Structure 1
Amino acid sequence: MRRCLLLLVVLAGFVGLTGAPASAHGFSSVVYADVTSDQPNHVRIRLGLEYDLLVVSVASAEHDDGFYQDGQPAWDDGDYPAMVEAVRKHAAAITGYVGQRFTVRTGGGKACTPTMEPDVSAELNQTQDVPYATVRFDYVCPEADETDHGHVIRSTLFADSEGFVKQTKTVLTYEVDGRSGSAALDDAHASFSTEQAWYQRFWEFFRLGANHLLTGLDHILFLVALIAGSRRLREVVLAATSFTVAHSVTFILAALGVVSPPARIVEPTIAFSITAVAAFTLWRLGRSRGRASDLDPGGEGFLGLDRVGWIRLAIVFCFGLVHGLGFAGALGITSSFSWQLLWSLVVFNLGIEAVQIGIIAAAFPLLALLRRKSRTLYLWGTAALATGVSLMGGFWFVERIV
């Protein structure tokens, strides 16, 4: 029994080290969409698209090598006027690509036809830290009849099947058909109706938040490091609460456009936080010299934490602030969308918390049982887990810096 338990813990650390993707966030993208209607039978779409991804996707899908030849050097040089010129020059290919993957239909299922408008711009997206192109389309819809209530919008832009990125999200706001709101689309849930209820819209963001934590291995490993280093339930609850408060603060601040540090700073810091928290656990294990009793909480300070407990809590809070920026970056939040998306983003955050609570509820009792049954086995298992997590965080840190 003891050998099986030890094997499970060691395997968990090994999976964290070898089974992870090269980067938890580095190969995904966010599409911004603003949907309005200023006249009957017309739906206007403003799309924010990652520029280099637009170039390779359109060039590949539409067999337009000219767009790649014009657009890629402009992106390499950071020449925004040249980027805009390349988009305008290849409007037909871009319309062909977008028209097949961002569709608008009437409530009765009639397709609307897109036309790309000449108003194009390109600029650096501060949150994603990459150039974005903003293109506008006018979708002309057939005359409405008694079956046409609302519009159905579907986005499969930059889908996984194209092979360039994975888990692209389309975050949109809309004010059409006398309704306004926001929605989040991905490969699994690619369409929505402007007639859907508010709770359906909120469910999309809750699901998206839960899915982000489940697929964001760096955040999960940080949580695992918290659990492994907690000596009793009170510590893991306080650590998780501290982490939640911290990342909620920066998440909302990013939603309001108050802070927007670039991803090239946020992502390596998240990776470093994983290593730091796991290394703190290893340092404590090293100081104990194999004596599990030395890891027991000492004294009863404020909230039942001793000096080591408070130091760890401070570390968790500081890094939680950075993780909040990472969560915000998952949706590519910019100030132009913030107010209308605010409540949806709160629900996104609730989805993150639901998964976080589930992981703690599943993992901590197992470690507590292992600690009670065999202190020695607990020490070795915790050390193996913390080592695997620390090495994975270090690997990500170097990779994201490079």
Structure 2
Amino acid sequence: MILSMPYLAHADELRPGYYEVNQQSASIYHIIWKAPLRTGIGPQSIPIFPKDCILKLTSTSQTPQSVIRKWDARCGLTLVGREIGLSNLEASQTDILVRVQLLGRPIESGRLMASRPFMKILADAGPYQIAVDYFYIGVEHILFGFDHLLFVLCLVLLIRRGRSILIAASAFTLSHSITLVGSSLGYMGLAQRPVEAIIALSIIFLAAEIIAAQRGKVHLTSRRPWIVAFIFGLLHGFGFAGALSEIGLPQTDMPLALLSFNVGVEAGQILVILCALLILALIGKFMAKWQDYIVKCCAYIFGGWASYWFFERIFFS
């Protein structure tokens, strides 16, 4: 477990790179490339355009999570029907979200990855691609954003009853949707560093509640788990919003992108809950005498990981 902690320390850092191309005139394009620092891509990756295009770097800036570089490109021919891409994606540990806005055309989006570092700009594109791309980002953020994943798993291990889990999950969904939308639209906001530390603390809290329940202690969390899910869900929503702010949202299709991301988060959450319940059912059927011991071990492991994240985020982020 200890050996795995360095990899999991930045548990909510599954933040895809963001690659935006905006056409300014018949031959001029403005390029923004947000390169996440903790995903193996780094600022050494640069845009790849057709050979008739000349790229000029115009600015470089940095946030705690990414390096932002901007270029201007002058092309002799239209980009329609041709490929754009990024260099050095073989080291990437996550996908790259691409957004292309050509004059007089719908916004086109796509995804780049280590196995597919190029995308072809289509003759016809529309909002459907944005919806699909942000949906997948939402799913990935639950499945590979380990702190959100462990929070959901801890809820399942604490409750272990289908109807109660559904109510708690619905409360979590409602609350993180409020802060996700509000923060993404600029109506509210919290600094990411304390938010991510408290998210880790929420997992520690649930892990402790699981241990207490195993010892026969009935707290409010066990009696009304939806209250705890709702309260901590507000903080997780700020975490989701922080990830989206690093990725970027299309200004003309922001409601669609937010809705698709949120639906993706819920789809990932439901998938995690169903898989966890299935595994618990199998353990209960074939290893019933070991079930409580396995749940207790999981609580200690999850709480240990979250404790590492908490102190790392407080003192070393």
The equivalent residue for 2:215 is 286
Which stretch shows the higher mean deviation, 348-357 or 28-37?
28-37
- The one-letter code of the counterpart of 1:392 is W
Structure 1 segments of 4 or more deviating over 6 A? 50-53, 372-375
Instruction: Select the residue among 31, 39, 48 that pairs with 1:103.
Output: 48
Contact 2:158/2:222 (8 A) holds in 1: no
Instruction: Select the residue among 360, 381, 400 that pairs with 2:294.
Output: 381
Contact 1:271/1:396 (8 A) holds in 2: yes
The equivalent residue for 2:266 is 353
Tell me the SS of whatever aligns to 2:125: coil
Distance in 1, Cα, partners of 2:253 & 2:177: 18
Q: TM-score, normalised by structure 2?
A: 0.80
- The one-letter code of the counterpart of 1:167 is T
Give the structure with higher Rg (CA): 1
Correspondence 1:29-44 to 2 at 5 A? 31-44=17-30
- The one-letter code of the counterpart of 2:73 is D
Structure 1 residues 191-224: Cα deviation after superposition (integer angstroms, max 9, x where no partner): 3525334323322222222222222222221111
Structure 1 residues 12-58: Cα deviation after superposition (integer angstroms, max 9, x where no partner): xx6xx7645232447666544443223223322244567999xx744
Contact 1:182/1:344 (8 A) holds in 2: no
The share of aligned pairs that are identical, in percent, is 23
Contact 1:37/1:175 (8 A) holds in 2: yes
Over the aligned positions, Cα root-mean-square deviation in angstroms equals 3.6
- The one-letter code of the counterpart of 1:277 is L
The equivalent residue for 1:179 is 105
1:236 positional shift: 0.9
Tell me the SS of whatever aligns to 1:331: helix
The equivalent residue for 1:136 is 71
Instruction: Select the residue among 24, 46, 54 that pairs with 1:114.
Output: 54
Distance in 1, Cα, partners of 2:221 & 2:240: 28
Distance in 2, Cα, partners of 1:266 & 1:338: 25
Distance in 1, Cα, partners of 2:248 & 2:22: 18
Distance in 2, Cα, partners of 1:186 & 1:358: 25
1:376 positional shift: 5.0
Contact 2:108/2:121 (8 A) holds in 1: no
Contact 2:184/2:244 (8 A) holds in 1: no
Distance in 2, Cα, partners of 1:334 & 1:357: 24
Instruction: Select the residue among 189, 192, 197 that pairs with 1:263.
Output: 192
Residues 1:344 and 2:273 aligned together = no
Tell me the SS of whatever aligns to 2:49: strand
Residues 1:153 and 2:79 aligned together = no
Q: TM-score, normalised by structure 1?
A: 0.65
Distance in 2, Cα, partners of 1:239 & 1:355: 16
Tell me the SS of whatever aligns to 2:48: strand
1:141 positional shift: 3.0
